Amino acid sequence: MTIQFKSETFRDDFTFSNSPEAIRRFPFPFDKDEYMYAVNIEQHMPGPIKSPYEFPIDIDEHYVAEMRDRALVLKEDPLRCQSLPHMLTAEWDLVELLMESMAKNYPEHFELTREGDAWHWINRPLGIDQKFTFGDTSTLPYPPMEYITRQCQGDFCLCDQRNDDLWMDAGIVTTQADWSLDFDVGMSFKEWHGPVPLAHDIGVFDRALKFLLNLQQGRPVRRLNWTMTINPRLDTSPENYHKWGIDRTTVTPENVGNKVHLRVELQALWRLPRSNAIVFSIRAYLIKMEELVTIPKWGRRFHRVLRDLRPELADYKGLTRFRQMTVDYLAKHDDGAPTSPGFFPD
């Protein structure tokens, strides 16, 4: 199936929107009418056809525009992509994982030919045709992780495993929900999760870390996380918070449906074969409130989740200023009917 890539922006004039098909395949993160932190990790198995879980790496209609936005972020701030020297093997592992997955599942867009270490990569949507020697950094125009992640949607972190802990020792992070790779590079699992409220005390990170230390090759896992963003801005980084934070004050009852977005992160983790590192991918999906309510079950459910969310979580996620206005908007789309179990539309 050929994807029609949209021409759209995630900054300035914010022309991003979802097609009806993209709305229907949105990874809605609530399977109940309420939300609290949970480890919520499941096997990253192939999901329903056309869903974002169909393939290990999901490429969608926003691909080309998102890659343009990433290039803009990196041009302004090269520190968004960093890798400590011992992570080079893991970087090559990531090249293999992403190229293999993209070429296998989207053959009309990506093509990979391997003859020993002589690799040939074709990326048609971005117009790239690259022959290189696997393992030889001098044969690519960027370091390996940066090279392939400039061509793949989602942020990526590479975690080294040692001393019974995971260390975030490399990554490319341009579409983040307000955390800084530059600040967190080199941190252990619990250190980089330090600012998250409540979850430490209920043991979420102890359990998640124990689970991930035992992650096996060929058995990736995934989980969903969520927050909300004003305007379809991918680069909600702390680095630029003094520029985008003001957006949170611009929500009105008239524009709430168009300005307020649910932002869902599809987080997936793979064990890498050569380095024994773990790749942690964080793929962000955005949906406007007026798009969300076109799926009646989601409109009802998100109204209830947001209305009943604990204040600490609303604060941490930065929702406080526009939460009530959004709840009021969603209330008009909640007739009180029961919602069916599970994530998917009825």
Separation of alpha carbons 9 and 73, rounded Å: 13
**Amino acid found at 159:** C
201 vs 346 by CB, closer to other proteins: 201
Backbone phi and psi for residue 57, each to the nearest 5 degrees, phi listed first:
-115, 120
Q: Is the dihedral of CA 70, 75, 77, 79 positive or negative?
A: positive
Residue 117: C-alpha distances to residues 179, 219, 223 (Å): 36, 25, 34
Residue nearer to other proteins on the CB measure, 8 or 178: 178
Count CA atoms closer than 13 A to 25's CA, side-chain side: 18
* Cα–Cα distance measured from residue 119 to residue 139, given in angstroms and rounded to the nearest whole number: 10
Asked if 321 is part of the footprint of other proteins (rule: CB under 8 A), the reply reads: yes
Tell me how far, at minimum, the Cβ of 247 lies from other proteins, in Å: 9
Task: Closer to other proteins by CB, 142 or 183: give it.
Answer: 183
Closest CB 267 distance from other proteins, rounded Å: 20
CB 85, min distance to other proteins, A: 10
Taking the complex as a whole, how short is the minimal distance between the CB of residue 69 and other proteins, in angstroms?
20
Residue 191 in the binding site for other proteins (CB under 8 A):
yes
Q: Is 248 in the site for other proteins (CB under 8 A)?
A: yes
Largest CA distance in the chain: 61
Separation CA 69–CA 74 (nearest Å): 9
- Would you put residue 224 in left (φ > 0), alpha (ψ -120 to 50) or beta? beta
Per-residue x/- mask for other proteins, residues 77 to 106, rule CB under 8 A?
A: --x---------------------------
Q: Does 194 bind other proteins (CB under 8 A)?
A: yes
- By CB under 8 A, name the one of 120, 124, 241, 332 that touches other proteins: 241
223 a catalytic residue: yes
Q: How far lies 261's CA from each of 28, 67, 174, 251, 323, in Å?
A: 12, 20, 18, 11, 11
Q: Which of 2, 43, 214, 249 binds other proteins (CB under 8 A)?
A: 249
Shortest Å distance, C-beta 212 to other proteins: 17
The answer to whether 33 contacts other proteins (rule: CB under 8 A) is no
Candidate list 185, 251, 260, 306; residue touching other proteins; CB under 8 A: 185
Cα distances from 234 to residues 66, 69, 77, 345, in angstroms, run 8, 8, 15, 25
CB of 321 to other proteins, least distance (A): 7
Q: Which listed range, 42-50, 183-191, 273-281, 335-343, lies at the site for other proteins (CB under 8 A)? A: 183-191
The span from the CA of 194 to the CA of 250, in Å, is: 30
Stretch that binds other proteins, among 134-142, 180-188, 217-225, 298-306 (CB under 8 A): 180-188
Give residue 127's Cα distance to chain centre. 24
Counting contacts by CB under 8 A, is residue 314 touching other proteins? no
What character string, x for contact with other proteins (CB under 8 A) and - otherwise, covers 210-239? ----------------------------xx
Residues with a catalytic annotation lie at: 223
